[in-house]
Amino acid sequence: MTEIAEPMQAAAPMSTSRHTGEAAMKRLRQRYAAERRFKIYGILAITFACAMLAILMFTLLKGGVSAFWQTEMRLEILIDPATIDPQGTGTPAGWDRGAFQTLVNDALYRDFPEVSGRLEKRDLRGLVSPVAGVFLGKVLDKNPALVGQTVELWLPTSDGINQIVKGGIDRDLPEAQRPINDQQLAWFSQLEQRGDVRTTFNSTFFTSSDSNYPELAGLLGAAVGTLLTMLVTVAISLPIGVAAAVYLEEFAPKNKLTDLIEVNINNLAAVPSIVFGLLGLAVFLNFFGMPRSAPLVGGLVLGLLVLPTIIIASRAALKAVPPSIREAALGMGASRLQAITHHVLPLAMPGIMTGTIIGMAHAVGETAPLLMIGMNAFVTQPPTGLLDSSSVLPVQIFIWADKPERGFVELTSAAILVLLAFLITMNGAAIWLRKKFERRW
């Protein structure tokens, strides 16, 4: 059967020893077979896990990568002061921002002079994004001197056109099954032939916040919200967690009370996260009257959520520091606290860091408790402080996953990719920190 077993088998008949006889050889073969089987189970388990991960990544990449690209069309826009500045103030403050879209539509009508009827014009307007005026507004904000001139601009197309170009929707589908009708498709083909269509990197995705229009929706608000929330979380949970771990591990007497506390901490680590959300709702919002949807409250709730994780990891790290180091320090005349701060904590730091970052990574991906405190609000501006309304990445994914527009489907996948990148970065940082602070000798 194996290279090892066979020569022994050949020798077996000669010997009658308990350890070389036929029965012994059989036992040996069984042992080797068992070891081989166990190895195969392990390889199968790893393969299964890798395959699942590969499928997940493939699905996300397939659905999400296209969100990083945006179809744009070239329009020559006459920025008519009479339209955008009806009062004639001459300053950006007097602009009628609703009129920017009118300028875009007018440019479209000029491009297709043959289109006349009301319905036809509506169809024609369907080529360009209904929020293209916002992009025009951004250009004008940067350069107000353009008012009164004709500018050539690349503006995002409507979601339907965007999907057709990027292949999310098949052009050959029957008309009734696609968001773009035959007439619009014909006009769009004209634009394509004139070279007035291009696909560029979708920077909006990283520079704007939530929107009802997929071409205007981005992750900036959610990313800033996540960052602020995590700041609060780490500021709450790290000092409290480490202090609790140091007390429990180094100072607390071993008695019924500390046993009870230990059991409770371990239980707390297993409490469903939504319960922490309810706690946040009841305590922070209703009792303390803190604002809804605020990163401060989100951070507090997540801080409580990861506290047990940090305490458990820190205690394990402290326990792993050899007692001889404590004795050495105490023997030199260090007080208990000095022994801990000079020697034990620095040695436990890599473990504490790892535990904390894993806890943070857990918190970054947490959605349910944040829904309870209203962080699923529709927020179109990045938060500027801890009390501003805000969303976070996983909640943003949750919101987008619920939207019917085709554009949000790919945005959802793209947002998941960004969240995963966030997590990989954090875990990478954990490994790097551990290597850096690990006892180098």
Residues that bind other proteins (CB under 8 A): 253-254, 322, 324-336, 338, 342-343, 347, 439-441
Phi, psi of 141 (to 5 degrees): -60, -40
Residue 324 beta carbon to other proteins: minimum distance, rounded to whole angstroms: 4
Dihedral of the CA atoms 288, 378, 420, 226 (nearest 10)? -40
Q: Are 365 and 302 in contact (CB under 8 A)?
A: no
Please identify, using beta-carbon distances, which residue of 141 and 327 lies nearer to other proteins: 327
Those residues whose C-beta lies under 8 Å from the C-beta of residue 211, and which sit 6 or more positions away, are 131, 217, 218, 380
Residue 330 beta carbon to other proteins: minimum distance, rounded to whole angstroms: 6
Nearest to 383 by CA among 398, 396, 365, 369: 396
Question: What tokens does 207 get?
Answer: 């520079």
Burial letters for 136-166: b for 16+ Cβ neighbours within 10 Å, e otherwise? Answer: bbebbeeeeeebeeebebbbbbbbbbbbbbb
Residue 299 beta carbon to other proteins: minimum distance, rounded to whole angstroms: 35
Please identify, using beta-carbon distances, which residue of 56 and 328 lies nearer to other proteins: 328
Three-state DSSP class for 157?
strand
Residue 333 beta carbon to other proteins: minimum distance, rounded to whole angstroms: 4
Please identify, using beta-carbon distances, which residue of 84 and 344 lies nearer to other proteins: 344
Three-state DSSP class for 203?
coil
Question: What tokens does 169 get?
Answer: 């929707």
Query: Is the dihedral angle over the CA atoms 414, 416, 418, 424 positive or is it negative?
Result: negative
Residue 334 beta carbon to other proteins: minimum distance, rounded to whole angstroms: 6
**CA 207-211-215 angle, 5° bins:** 70
Please identify, using beta-carbon distances, which residue of 326 and 434 lies nearer to other proteins: 326
Three-state DSSP class for 167?
coil
Please identify, using beta-carbon distances, which residue of 118 and 254 lies nearer to other proteins: 254
Residue 322 beta carbon to other proteins: minimum distance, rounded to whole angstroms: 8
Distance of CA 101 to the CA centre of its chain: 33
Residue 370 beta carbon to other proteins: minimum distance, rounded to whole angstroms: 41
Dihedral of the CA atoms 415, 417, 423, 426 (nearest 10)? -100
Please identify, using beta-carbon distances, which residue of 115 and 330 lies nearer to other proteins: 330
Between 345-364 and 220-246, two packed helices, what is the crossing angle to 10 degrees?
140
Please identify, using beta-carbon distances, which residue of 192 and 327 lies nearer to other proteins: 327
Residue 72 beta carbon to other proteins: minimum distance, rounded to whole angstroms: 59
Residue 349 beta carbon to other proteins: minimum distance, rounded to whole angstroms: 12
Please identify, using beta-carbon distances, which residue of 213 and 437 lies nearer to other proteins: 437
φ/ψ region of 148 (left if φ > 0, alpha if ψ in -120 to 50, else beta) reads left
**Exposed (0-12), middle (13-18) or buried (19+): which is 360, by Cβ within 10 Å?**
buried
Please identify, using beta-carbon distances, which residue of 316 and 325 lies nearer to other proteins: 325
Residue 323 beta carbon to other proteins: minimum distance, rounded to whole angstroms: 9
Please identify, using beta-carbon distances, which residue of 239 and 322 lies nearer to other proteins: 322
How many CB atoms neighbour CB 381 within 10 A?
A: 14
